[in-house]
Amino acid sequence: MPDPQETQDTNEIIMQLRYLQNLYTQQYENLENNIATYTMTNTSVQRNLELLEKSKLVEGKNIMVSGEAGAYIPARIAKVDQVLTYIGGGYLIENTVEKAIDFLKENRKRGEEILSKLIAEKLKVEKDLFDIQYRLNAVQYKSQAQQK
């Protein structure tokens, strides 16, 4: 017959491990969301860099400008010397194309560094989550074996 104190201790350990498992699962999901956000942001920055780097090629050309909700307006690109650059917090500054490219490259670099850190943290949390699950399974198996 199993010792009641040992059964209570085992149940408490199981509850603690499940609690940790839930915390780590939430942290893992949060990291996945942050990784997806930074990936989309870096993709957007990369597209903007490519556009700015090709800006001289479209000078004097006709384009269609999105007016939102599927409406497009024809326009002609004038000389591209100055562009507006979003710097965050709802603020835009006027820059030369070269300064805007440098600014976006720096943003991309910072974004890639943050993304690398997030991925490393996700891998660590994933390993910890696996370890918790392993410990939980071991304790539950031991508990079931003692009850027989």
The structure tokens listed for 17 are 């491990």
Count Cβ neighbours within 10 Å for each residue of 108-139 and write b for 16 or more, e otherwise: beebeeebeebeebbeebeebbeebeeebeeb
Pick the CATH number of 4-50+81-147 from 3.30.479.30, 1.10.730.10, 3.40.50.1820, 1.10.287.370: 1.10.287.370
pLDDT along the chain (148 residues), means of 10: 74 94 97 97 93 88 84 89 90 94 95 97 97 94 81
Integer Cα distance of 101 and 114 in angstroms: 20
Which pTM does this prediction carry? 0.77
Integer Cα distance of 111 and 104 in angstroms: 10
What DSSP string runs through 27-47?
HHHHHHHHHHHHHHHHHHHHH
Q: What is the pLDDT of residue 132?
A: 96
Residue 142, CB half-sphere, CA atoms under 13 Å: how many? 13
Q: What is the pLDDT of residue 2?
A: 60
Please report, for the chain, the start and end positions of each structural domain, with discontinuous segments joined by +: 4-50+81-147
